[in-house]
Amino acid sequence: MNDRSPSASGGFQRPLLHPLGGSNLATLLGAFRKYAPFNRYSLPVRLLAISAVLLRFPFYRAERIFHGRRIQNLELSEDPVFVIGHWRSGTTHLHNLLCKDPQFGWTNFIQTAMPWDFLSRLKIALPIIERFLPDTRGMDNVRLSIESPQEEEMALGNMGSLSYYYCYYFPQHFRRVYRDSILCDDLNEEELQGFRNNFLYLTKKLSLSERNQGKRLLFKNPANTARIPLLRSIFKGAKFIHIVRNPFEVFCSTVRHYERTMSAFAWQEWDEIDFDQLTLENYELMMKRFLQFRSNFDPDSFYELRFEALEENPILEIEKVYDHFKFPNKDMAINAIQEYAQEQRNYRKNVYRISKRQVAQIRRGWGFALDVWNYDLPEGVEVTD
């Protein structure tokens, strides 16, 4: 077996700061016990993650002692709004637009990377983290900063083992982790309750942070697309905004996304993983499961839009979202969102190429999605032999 080195993907260099460096000691040790052995290339990163957890230990323990009861006793004024959709479907773009509305609170990079200690000032850690943070997310040209809105999945992985991010960290266990963390079929009640407890604790803690106080939280996380019943068991009044994109573009972007993400975070070999097949399998599993839930939604708690429409006229599509849910302060929100939308007009999109064999595989495996959302091969995707 030829182990892929950190520079195997187009010269991409593995960042020294691994997400698990923001976990607590119990979570890190649990991951080591459950998913070892690891490859030699990840040794420096693993040692740094261990060091980060040990150095932070007294600080996150103190934060739990001083703030734990306050967090537990907090009553949320409103249940969150969830932006969902398969990876590479435009969830980040939609989330970034909505986050410009000052009525919403959201998770930033520090909060998702260090869920146990973000209520502290972290003045010493912030410059160090910012120095090692890449300019963009790697799989696309979306800018990245310590204050930019992020999904909460990394935080959940640093609070317990039920997280999709573990697919990237431990790719030898990809299929099992995916089924456990996304579909949740084989989990016992103790595991499900642990996830509920962690998610609720994180939500309450986010609501206590300075920027989010008194605001309704807006989460964005593709992994939540097939977790809807589990989320509704925690937040009965939650709202869900689903964004869908042409499956051919989703396929191309997801395959690229896997390789770049594993180059950054994997602690195990992944050279034998067939990313085409993995993408085909996972999309089918997630979206068929989502469609089962979609038919049971109360219209007042669910709205669906298309990425292509959002890209063409973001303000019109956002107005439809606000009208559907009757979100307050619509005019003020649209003004703030419009300014950001104008800034994104020159965003440089990736160019996609796909083989005839891949086109046939998508039509065969994802035909249900092409039919439900009325998509076909777009003109902008180049088909090769």
38-76 pLDDT, tens digit per residue, is 999 999 999 999 999 999 999 999 999 999 999 999 999
Q: What value, to the nearest 5°, has the Cα angle with vertex 228 and ends 224 and 230? A: 100
In this predicted structure, what is the pLDDT of residue 342? Answer: 84
* Six token digits for residue 274: 């067939």
Residues 320-346: pLDDT tens digits?
Answer: 999 999 999 999 999 999 988 888 776
In this predicted structure, what is the pLDDT of residue 104? Answer: 97
Overall average pLDDT of the 89-94 stretch: 96
Q: What percent of the chain has pLDDT over 70?
A: 89
- DSSP letter for 345, please: G
In this predicted structure, what is the pLDDT of residue 44? Answer: 94
Q: Which of 217 and 186 is assigned the larger pLDDT?
A: 217
Residues 207-252: pLDDT tens digits?
Answer: 999 999 989 999 999 999 999 999 999 999 999 999 999 999 999 9
Alpha carbon 122 to its chain's center: 23
Boundaries of every domain in the chain: 19-383
pTM over 0.85: yes
- Assign domain 19-383 to its CATH architecture: 3-Layer(aba) Sandwich (3.40)
pLDDT band at 132 (very low <50, low <70, confident <90, very high): low
Q: What percent of the chain has pLDDT over 90?
A: 77
pLDDT at position 121 over 90: no
In this predicted structure, what is the pLDDT of residue 133? Answer: 60
Contact between 98 and 314 (Cβ < 8 Å): no
For residue 217, the SS3 value is strand
pLDDT at position 164 over 90: yes
In this predicted structure, what is the pLDDT of residue 139? Answer: 45
Q: In what order do the strands lie in the sheet with 216-220?
A: 104-105, 216-220, 81-84, 239-244, 302-306
pLDDT at position 356 over 80: yes
How far is it, in rounded angstroms, from Cα 56 to Cα 61? 8
In this predicted structure, what is the pLDDT of residue 10? Answer: 44
Stretch (H or E) spanning 70 = helix 43-73
pLDDT at position 169 over 60: yes
Q: Among 21-30, 199-208, 224-233, 259-268, whose mean pLDDT is lowest?
A: 259-268
In this predicted structure, what is the pLDDT of residue 13? Answer: 59
Query: Rounded mean pLDDT of the chain?
Result: 90
User: Backbone phi, then psi, for 267, in 5-degree steps?
Assistant: -105, 5
Give whichever of 7-11, 128-132, 255-259 has the largest mean pLDDT. Answer: 255-259
Residues 273-321: pLDDT tens digits?
Answer: 999 999 999 999 999 999 999 988 998 999 999 999 999 999 999 999 9
In this predicted structure, what is the pLDDT of residue 125? Answer: 61
How far is it, in rounded angstroms, from Cα 25 to Cα 125? 18
CA dihedral 372, 373, 376, 382 (to 10 degrees): -130
Overall average pLDDT of the 252-272 stretch: 92
CA dihedral 116, 159, 291, 328 (to 10 degrees): -10
Contact between 56 and 172 (Cβ < 8 Å): no
How far is it, in rounded angstroms, from Cα 123 to Cα 317? 39
Contact between 252 and 138 (Cβ < 8 Å): no
In this predicted structure, what is the pLDDT of residue 8? Answer: 43
In this predicted structure, what is the pLDDT of residue 138? Answer: 46
